[in-house]
Amino acid sequence: GEDVEQSLFLSVREGDSSVINCTYTDSSSTYLYWYKQEPGAGLQLLTYIFSNMDMKQDQRLTVLLNKKDKHLSLRIADTQTGDSAIYFCAEKDNFNKFYFGSGTKLNVKP
Amino acid sequence: GAVVSQHPSWVICKSGTSVKIECRSLDFQATTMFWYRQFPKQSLMLMATSNEGSKATYEQGVEKDKFLINHASLTLSTLTVTSAHPEDSSFYICSARDLMRGGELFFGEGSRLTVL
């Protein structure tokens, strides 16, 4: 499968911005996704970006895509304690298969 | 948004027994569902693609006789872990594709299997 990589941990203070980074290898990715997973739960789709876009903003979430460098990031503005979770980036290839990163555990300190 | 439900959420079984996990798409029809396995602090590993009315497609390294998948209807796929052993203990997550929503993938809540 394709490689999708993320850093494992990120710790921020409440109210700060969080930036979670992801790199991928498949240049033919059509869509890239960010999912949130809370303890013991399944994945919740947060947002996604089409591969011909550079940026997408959705309330507190901003997704940046650098297709040349195959780099995706998720910025969470005004991070809250309720944002503490594991965040997965994922890419969808031309065969509609999803490949997930290892997940970044976001810890928000009060 | 679309809802995908898994049952049971938690299951504990004895070694050697078989366990069935259900994945249902509650408000849409899903010709394709996916089964993932997640180890602690690791990403999701795609196990197999479940296709309604036909055989599942298994990823390399996944034993199809060990993990039986049945997709008998457009809203239900089942994963049966046969002759479970402690190393099969894991978090199993299903997802279903909603073609009416551009093929967006919706995930179930996951099922935690513990084999004693």
CB contact under 8 A, B110 and A42: yes
**Nearest alpha carbon to residue B18 among B85, B81, B93, B108:** B81
How much is the average pLDDT of A36-58?
88
CA distance, residue A90 to nearest chain B CA (Å): 10
| pLDDT per position as a tens digit, B11-24 | 999 999 999 999 99
Q: Is the pLDDT of residue B40 over 80?
A: no
Token pair in block for residue B75 = 């809203």
Cβ-based contacts of A103 with chain B (< 8 Å): 41-43
CB A43 within 8 A of CB A37: yes
What is the reported pLDDT for A41? 76
d(C-alpha B7, C-alpha B109), whole Å: 9
A8 touches chain B (CB under 8 A): yes
The residues that bridge with A31 in the sheet, in sequence order, are: A50, A92
Greater confidence, A61 or A52? A61
What SS3 class is residue A82? Answer: helix
Q: Do B105 and A45 touch (CB under 8 A)?
A: yes
Contact A71, A15 (CB under 8 A): no
Residue-wise DSSP of B21-81: EEEEESSS--SEEEEEEE-TTS-EEEEEEEETTS--EEPTT--TTTEEEEEEETTEEEEEE
Chain B hits for A43, CB-CB cut-off 8 Å, are 44, 93, 95, 107
Tokens of A69: 């460098």
Q: Which residue of A has its CA nearest to B49?
A: A97
CB contact under 8 A, A44 and B97: no
Asked if the Cβ–Cβ distance from B107 to A44 is below 8 Å, we say: yes
Tens-digit pLDDT profile for residues B76-98: 999 999 999 999 999 999 999 88
Contacts of B110 in chain A (CB under 8 A): 40-42
Distance CA A33, CA A27 (A): 15
Q: Which helix (H) or strand (E) holds A63?
A: strand A61-66
**Beta pairing class for A9-13 and A104-109:** parallel
Taking an 8 Å cut-off on Cβ atoms, the answer to whether A100 and B42 are in contact is no
pLDDT at A94: 76
Residues 6+ apart with CB under 8 A from B9: B109, B110, B111, B112
pLDDT average, residue stretch A60-85: 95
How far apart are the C-alpha atoms of B69 and B81, rounded to whole Å?
9
CA distances from B68 to A37, A86, A91, B53, B83 (A): 26, 29, 27, 14, 11
Q: Do the chains contact at A98 and B34, CB–CB below 8 Å?
A: yes
3-state DSSP assignment of residue B86: helix
Q: Which range has the worst mean pLDDT, A59-68, A82-91, B31-40?
A: B31-40
Is the per-residue pLDDT at B7 higher than 70? yes
Band of residue B31 on the pLDDT scale cut at 50, 70, 90 = confident
Q: Please tell me the distance in Å from B92's CA to the nearest CA on chain A.
A: 9
Q: Burial letters for B19-54: b for 16+ Cβ neighbours within 10 Å, e otherwise? A: bebbbbbeebebebbbbbbbeeeebbbbbbbbebee
A1 touches chain B (CB under 8 A): yes
Tens of pLDDT, residues A95-104: 777 888 889 9
> Is the model's pLDDT at B56 over the cut of 60?
yes
Mean of per-residue pLDDT scores for chain A = 90
Any B CB within 8 A of A87 CB: no
